[in-house]
Chain A
Amino acid sequence: MSDTIIKATGLNKSFGNKQVLKNVSFTCKGGSIVGLLGPNGSGKTTLIKILTGLITGYEGDVQINGHAIGVKTKETVSFLPDEPYFADWMKVKDALHIFADLYRDFDYMRCLEIMQRFQIDERMRIKTMSKGTKEKFQLALVMSRHAKLIVLDEPIGGVDPAAREVILDTILSNYREDQTILIATHLIADIERIFDSVLFIKNGEIILDDNVEELRSETNKSIDELFREKFKY
């Protein structure tokens, strides 16, 4: 692990009267896989949208790889949103070309390799894909960028347990030591074994920020169990 890749200090964000992020501060080290865990409506997606430059107008400071959010950081961040973003008329090939045009760090061959594992063909039409296949295809695209930071919003949300295994496997085998992966999810049990550390976010506040192995040895509990405790209704 090396330098700090994300540094957020005192982030506050409101939509109307509702404050969705409250004084959020954290850092992520380079070369780690970090889980951003919280229930629906906890502020996960807002935080991610700030990191990826999709939301502005917040208080506080965020730096990615030492730069304020902007054109520079968009080049260093590869983002998988939680909803498909391709137009229905596109074929897989069209989407591949768009990625290759947009991102200098896009590795076309690697993407084809991952797609092969997912049994996705270049000639397929995006419209006819199942929800799970669309998600896998987007993951293939996002994981094929040599970006310093990869942000995955609910990467296993729409797929069955067998496909989850393949997705986790793909994340592990394609991530490089100089990359950091931030994964937002509420499906913790399936994925906790690949984390280095976790951030728990509740009502817009970070309530826990720790290394997962330390947490397990201190509490004799799984991250899933800790999550259920902290987020009891």
Chain B
Amino acid sequence: MVFDANIPIYLQIMKDFKKQIIAGNYKSGEKIASVRELAVSYGVNPNTVQRSLSELEREGLLYSERTSGRFITKDEELLKQLKSAYAIELLDVCIKQLQELQFDKEAILKQMKERLENE
């Protein structure tokens, strides 16, 4: 993974985790690698990884069991929300740009529909 050095790295790792969960690379209830292993594979400081995982835990996406490690949440509702929040984030970028080009709601929907049908 290539990091943007202008943005805190722990935020970028959190985002990467969320993407991996959405993409199905992590399954619900799956055990994740240790802080040390993740630090080596991301090529970053272990304390940075620790911070990302703590934040993800606070958001409920991970849970830890004292002796056996950290796991992806089994809360299906939360996973659904995560997926939808991510889609909204991407759509917002696209909609905003189209609005700047004076596309109204109908025009955007029309374009979107045509694009999806012709894909």
Contact = CB atoms under 8 A, between A and B. Distances in A.
Contacts of A169: 40, 43
A32 to B, nearest CB: 7
Given A172-B39, A193-B3, A213 B8 contact: yes
Nearest to A173: B40
Interface stretch (B44-52, B71-79, B100-108): B44-52
B5 A194 contact: no
Interface in B62-90: none
Contacts, number: 54
B6 A220 contact: yes
Chain A: interface size category? 20 to 34
A57 B74 CA distance: 62
Given A33-B45, A196-B45, A222 B5 contact: yes
Instruction: Determine chain A's interface SS by DSSP, over half rule.
Output: helix
A169 B7 CA distance: 21
A225 B45 contact: no
A219 B92 CA distance: 25
B95 interface: no
Interface string B22-53: 00000000000000100110011111100100
Q: Which of A1, A172, A195 has the most CB of B within 10 A?
A: A172
A193 B5 CA distance: 8
B10 interface: yes
A181 to B, nearest CB: 10
B9 interface: yes
Contact of B7 (A172, A216, A223, A224): A216
A118 B45 CA distance: 22
A192 interface: yes
A223 B39 CA distance: 19
Interface string A84-118: 00000000000000000000000000000000000
A194 B43 contact: yes
A73 B87 CA distance: 55
Given A196-B47, A213-B48, A223 B5 contact: yes
A193 B9 CA distance: 7
A168 interface: yes
A168 B6 contact: no
A168 B47 contact: no
Contacts of A224: 5
B9 A213 contact: yes
Contacts of A216: 5-9
A17 interface: no
Given A194-B44, A217-B8, 7 more contacts: A193-B3, A193-B44, A193-B48, A194-B45, A213-B8, A216-B8, A222-B5
11 contacts: A32-B47, A172-B44, A172-B45, A172-B46, A173-B36, A173-B40, A177-B46, A193-B3, A193-B5, A213-B10, A222-B6
